[in-house]
């Protein structure tokens, strides 16, 4: 039996187990997770998840310029 602190998120992680011990907000179905070294560290709602990659690309471009 798996602990409530262990999740198996889908999509990018391809179903690997992920610990939720240190996450900032308990995720709901449809939320996105930022995962580092097997630990979910941040929960994003779908709107945030859409904006974050765009901001990261803009910051990377600004650093190159």
User: For the chain, which domains are there?
Assistant: 6-64 (2.30.30)
Model pLDDT, residue 43: 92
CB 35 within 8 A of CB 9: yes
Q: What is the pLDDT of residue 12?
A: 59
Q: pLDDT tens-digit profile of 7-58? A: 666 665 566 778 888 899 888 888 888 888 888 899 998 888 888 788 878 9
C-beta of residue 40 within 8 angstroms of C-beta of residue 20: yes
Say which residues have a Cβ less than 8 Å from residue 39's Cβ, sequence separation at least 6: 18, 19, 20, 21, 22, 23
| Model pTM score | 0.62
pLDDT at 1: 45
């Amino acid at each position: 039996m798996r602990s409530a602190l262990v999740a198996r998120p889908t999509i990018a992680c391809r179903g690997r187990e992920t610990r939720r011990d240190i996450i900032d907000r308990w995720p709901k179905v449809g939320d996105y997770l930022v995962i580092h070294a097997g630990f979910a560290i941040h929960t994003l709602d779908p709107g945030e998840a859409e904006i974050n990659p765009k901001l990261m690309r803009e910051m990377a471009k600004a650093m190159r310029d």
